[in-house]
Structure 1
Amino acid sequence: MPRPDSVPDPATLSPSEAGPGSSLPLRGLTVLAVEDSRYASDALRLMCQRSGARLRRAGDIAAAETHLRLYRPDVVIVDLGLPDGRGEDLIARLAAARGWAVILATSGDPAGQAAALAAGAAGFLEKPLPSLAAVQAMILRHLPDAPLRAPAQGGAVTPDPLALADDLRAAQAVLAGDPGAAERAWIEGFLAGIARQTRDGGLAAAARGLREPGSPTARLAGVLADRIARGAGFGPGSALQGRV
């Protein structure tokens, strides 16, 4: 399976090259995903590719601010739980600056929607992400030239399983470093989101075990090692091949 950097720039594709019946409703847009999960980012990358948009990714708030000093994307999609802070704080700063076409929030915790909207997000995408058509519709709803764009298309996407492996190894590395309370909270939320996307109840239960400071990490470390060792069910037909 090709890695993300081997995929052609969707802005250069004609509708016929992008796929039969593709209307590329987001063609010409640049989307910045402020997202710590490579697996979730790959789902967005595929959605953008099939819609005609370019996707750039920042893994945390610091990286996002570097991106935003250099260019102004048309759409910013901000995950609420990030390794170096809360996504709501970044959303509030972007909303206060004004001039951004679309600011959206995303999270595996539906309870985050109210805080994201209060911070200034125009919309909220709950993980697992909805259908391609629903994501397109959310973005188009807030574009000034939406009436001139082609109707949204449906379809599902299957992210690169190697991106999921990257996520599990990243959590494993942080866990191995005797994480403090803030890092434990991030790992729990990060893995809870992955567990929702992949429908992995065992991973979700193990991640919840980090809620109490000082709680043992051995169980979660064992679950991560198991998922990595057996490929986390990455093959076709696995539980990971559903909605993302």
Structure 2
Amino acid sequence: MTPAPARLIPTSARPLLGLTVMVVEDSRFASEALRQMCLHGGARIRRADCIASARRHLAAYFPSVSIVDMGLPDGDGAELIAEIRQRCGDLAPVIATSGDPDRELPARRAGAHDFLPKPIASLGLFEQVILRHLPDSARPKGPRILRQDLPMPDRAALRDDLDHAERLCRGEPDTEMRTYLGAFVAGVARCAEDEPLARAADDLPATAGSGALRQLQALLKDRLRKETRAPV
């Protein structure tokens, strides 16, 4: 008989060791940052970029923790949070994330255990939010150092996001697509510390004319040119 694999014991240096984290995030830039934070903490990560992909993950395995972006291309993250809570109950924490602080209340109403605003302030905060919703047996013993560092940004992933958003601007996106596009770009822009781009994205859903869309597209092209010249 093959012996069962030894259970991974979390440590102060790797407090998330033994966890499987499902990250549901449509931004490659944000997803890469979350991936690096999970790996720093010792967690395994499984990624989904939409609700449909997340549902396929849930049909195949039981995540220890789910991190769900509130704005997804095929629906509202609150819908998925409610589904995960119905499936997993309190056994697996669900953490919502968004660049819009107004999304925290809908996330908690849907059943999210906690909320992480984008951009995430530090690696230590990321780990702390997850750990406080885990049972004692899944937490590291002894004192922990609250790490303030963050992973290095993935410039290639940022370029992919900017290019994707610029392509979505072409033509005449309908109201639903404008709302999604505005939220997507605002989240990416804030993670990239680009406030002019974030403000333009925030203004997009409320504007009926094409001027705001053209302005956003111009800003995306300008940032994309700068990123293309920057080293990976």
Unaligned runs of 5+ in 2: 1-9
CA shift digits 1:113-171 (9 cap, x unpaired): 11111111111001111211111111111111244456355122112110100111111
1:190 to 184, 197, 200: 184
Mapping 1:20-169, distance limit 5 Å: 23-99=13-89, 100-144=91-135, 145-149=137-141, 151=144, 153-154=146-147, 155-169=149-163
TM superposition shift of 1:228: 1.1
2-structure distance, mates of 1:85, 1:168:
21
Equivalenced residue count is: 218
CA pair 102-70 structure 1, distance change in 2 beyond 3 A: same
2-structure distance, mates of 1:158, 1:107:
20
2-structure distance, mates of 1:111, 1:232:
33
1-structure distance, mates of 2:173, 2:36:
33
1-structure distance, mates of 2:118, 2:195:
15
% identity of equivalent residues: 46
The one-letter code sitting in structure 2 at the alignment partner of 1:159 is P
CA pair 186-135 structure 1, distance change in 2 beyond 3 A: same
2-structure distance, mates of 1:129, 1:147:
21
Instruction: Say whether the 8 Å CA contact 2:15–2:139 is kept in structure 1.
Output: no
**Helix, strand or coil for the counterpart of 1:213?**
coil
2:208 to 207, 213, 220: 213
TM-score (norm 1): 0.82
Which stretches of structure 1, 4 residues or more, deviate above 4 A after TM superposition? 147-150, 232-236
2-structure distance, mates of 1:214, 1:69:
42
Instruction: Say whether the 8 Å CA contact 2:124–2:146 is kept in structure 1.
Output: yes
TM superposition shift of 1:182: 0.7
Instruction: Say whether the 8 Å CA contact 1:51–1:136 is kept in structure 2.
Output: yes
When structure 1 is superposed on structure 2, of 143-152 and 188-197 the one drifting more is 143-152
TM-score (norm 2): 0.86
Query: Which residue number in structure 1 is paired with residue 7 of structure 2?
Result: none
Instruction: Say whether the 8 Å CA contact 2:50–2:74 is kept in structure 1.
Output: yes
TM superposition shift of 1:37: 0.7
1:229 to 225, 229, 232: 225
2-structure distance, mates of 1:125, 1:54:
19
